[in-house]
Amino acid sequence: MTKIVVVTSGKGGVGKTTTAASFATGLAARGHKTAVVDFDVGLRNLDLIMGVERRVVFDFVNVIHGEATLKQALIKDKQFENLSILAASQTRDKDALTAAGVERVLDELVAEFEYVVCDSPAGIERGAHLAMYFADEALVVTNPEVSSVRDSDRVLGLLASKTRRAERGDGKVREHLVLTRYNPARVAKGEMLSVDDVKEILAIPLLGVIPESQAVLTCSNAGVPVIREENADAGLAYQDLVARFLGEERPHRFLDQKKGLFSKLFGG
Amino acid sequence: MALNIDWLKLFRGERKTSAQLAKDRLMVAVAIQRAELAGKSQVPPYLQKMREEIVSVVRKYVQVPDEAVQFSLQRERGLEVLELNITLPEHAA
Ligand SMILES: Nc1ncnc2c1ncn2[C@@H]1O[C@H](COP(=O)(O)OP(=O)(O)OP(=O)(O)O)[C@@H](O)[C@H]1O
Ligand SMILES: [Mg+2]
C-alpha cells in the first residue's frame, strides 16, 4: 500500500527540504517508486535541491487548477527513473492550495507511486496544514535547539489532531524523529542538547541523526541531494535513515565526536 | 531513559551546562504548551517519570510515602507554576 509521508517541523530552516530530497532519493535508490511534492507555495526550493529547476514547466497549482495534467507536471529525476518531482508554484496567492485540490492530486499520485513524500513549508498555516493533513507517516525534522524542539512538539500535537487519520479515527500518523545539524563535539562539551535530551522531551521514536556537515551546502550548490554523497557523514546518515525507515536495523553512526589527529595518534 | 536534571547539583547551586539549561527550560516550555493547547487536561509524558525520580532522590535521605510527594503544573493568573511539595515526616527534620 502506498504511503504518504510528510516532512514537517514547524520552525523554518531546520532541514526539511534537505531531508525530503534525500529521503525521496534514498527510497527511489532502493527500488521504490517515489514522488516528492513541494508544498512551499510561493517559496519553491525543492527543485533547486533536486537539481531540476530548469525543467519545471508546470507546477502543483497548475495541476490543481486543471491547467496541466499531473503527468505533464511531474519531472523525472535524471539519476533514478522511478523518482519524480512535483514543483511548488511561485504564485503569491496563499489560497492557491485547496484541500479538495490537494486531495485529488495526492489520490492520483497514490495510484501510481509507492511513496509520496510531502515537503512542508515552515509554520503551521495553510500550506503546512495541507502538507500533513493526508499523511500516513511523518518525519519530524528538529534541530538540537530550544525553539526548534518546542515547535516540533507543537507539530506533534497537530499531527495527532488535525490530520485526516485523526479526524477519521483511522489510527495515528506514525511519527519519526529526525534530528539534523547535530554537532557531537558541542554536545560533548555540554553546549548543545543531546539526542537523548531531545528524544526524552518529544517522546517519539528516533529515525535518524544527521550531523552538521559542510557537504550539505556543497551538494545544494550542485543540485545533488546529499544522500548521493557517499564521502560525507550526512550522506551516509541519510542512507541509514532510509534503511531504518524500510525496516532495517542500523546503528547510529555519527553520535560521537570525530576523533582529531591528536587523539587518533595518542589514543583517548 | 534517565532524566538528566541533576537535582542535587541544582540544590548545591552548581553551574549547569548550557545544554542542561536548555533542557530544563524546554521541559517546562513544552509542558506549558501542551497544557495550553489541551486546555490543561493533558500531562506531558515525562512528568510522571520526573516525579518518580525526584521521589527516589528524596528517599535516599528521608523515608517518605508516595502520597507525601505532590507534583503539579498549574497556571495562575497567566503565570505557569511547576510545583513540588514534599511533606517530611515529623521526626525527620
Ligand atoms: N545537516 C546539515 N548540515 C549543515 N547545514 C544544513 C544541514 N541541513 C540543512 N542545512 C542547511 O540549512 C539550511 C536550511 O535547510 P532547508 O532548506 O533544508 O530547511 P527547511 O526546513 O526546508 O527550510 P524552510 O523552512 O525555509 O523550508 C540550508 O542552508 C541547508 O543547506
Ligand atoms: Mg524547505
Closest-CA residue in chain B for A193? Answer: B19
Better-scored residue on pLDDT, A245 or B79 = A245
User: Minimal CA–CA distance to A224: which of A19, A49, A31?
Assistant: A49
- Atom number in ligand 1 closest to CA A212: 3
Residue type at B83? E
8-state DSSP, A160: T
**CB A226, CB A28: distance < 8 Å:** no
User: Minimal CA–CA distance to A21: which of A88, A121, A119, A134?
Assistant: A119
Cell numbers standing for residue A188: 560533548
pLDDT tens-digit series, residues A58-109: 999 999 999 999 999 999 999 999 999 999 999 888 789 999 999 999 999 9
Cα radius of gyration rounded to whole Å, chain B:
15
Residue B19 and residue A192: Cβ atoms within 8 Å?
A: yes
**Pick from A153, A154, A193: CB nearest B23:** A193
Range ranked top by mean pLDDT from A26-40, B20-34, B44-58: A26-40
User: Minimal CA–CA distance to A158: which of A199, A178, A179, A130?
Assistant: A130
Better-scored residue on pLDDT, A179 or B43 = A179
Of the listed ranges A171-175, A256-260, B27-31, the least confidently predicted one is A256-260
Per-residue confidence band for A268, with pLDDT thresholds at 50, 70 and 90: very low
Torsion over CA of A226, A82, A102 and A90, rounded to 10 degrees? Answer: 50
**Does A243 lie at the interface with B, CB-CB under 8 angstroms?**
no
3-state secondary structure of B51: helix
Residue type at A117? V
Cell numbers standing for residue A230: 557517499
Q: Give chain A's end-to-end CA distance (angstroms, integer).
A: 49
Cα B36 to ligand 1 centroid, rounded to whole Å = 30
Residues of chain B in contact with residue A201, where contact means CB-CB under 8 angstroms, are 23, 26-27, 30, 46
3-state secondary structure of A121: coil
Residue B33 and residue A153: Cβ atoms within 8 Å?
A: yes
Query: Is A157 touching ligand 1 by the criterion CB < 6 Å?
Result: no
Helical segments of chain A, H only: 16-29, 46-50, 60-64, 70-73, 99-112, 126-133, 146-159, 164-168, 184-188, 195-202, 214-222, 233-245, 261-266
Determine the Cα–Cα distance for residues A58 and A38; give it in Å rounded to an integer: 13
Determine the Cα–Cα distance for residues B93 and B88; give it in Å rounded to an integer: 7
Determine the Cα–Cα distance for residues A39 and A45; give it in Å rounded to an integer: 10
Residue B29 and residue A146: Cβ atoms within 8 Å?
A: yes
Cell numbers standing for residue A180: 539534523
Task: Look over chain B and give the mean of its residue pLDDT values, rounded to a whole number.
Answer: 74
Task: Look over chain A and give the mean of its residue pLDDT values, rounded to a whole number.
Answer: 94
Residue type at A84? S
Strand pairing category for A115-119 and A34-38? parallel
pLDDT tens-digit series, residues A32-46: 999 999 999 999 999
- Atom number in ligand 1 closest to CA A14: 21
Q: Does the pLDDT at position A184 exceed 50?
A: yes
Per-residue confidence band for B79, with pLDDT thresholds at 50, 70 and 90: low
Cell numbers standing for residue A227: 544522500
Q: Which residue is listed with cell 523525472?
A: A76
pLDDT of residue A175: 98
- Checking ipTM against 0.90, whether it exceeds it is no
Residues of chain B in contact with residue A192, where contact means CB-CB under 8 angstroms, are 18-19
pLDDT tens-digit series, residues A102-141: 999 999 999 999 999 999 999 999 999 999 999 999 999 9
Q: CA of B92, closest CA in chain A: separation in Å? A: 34
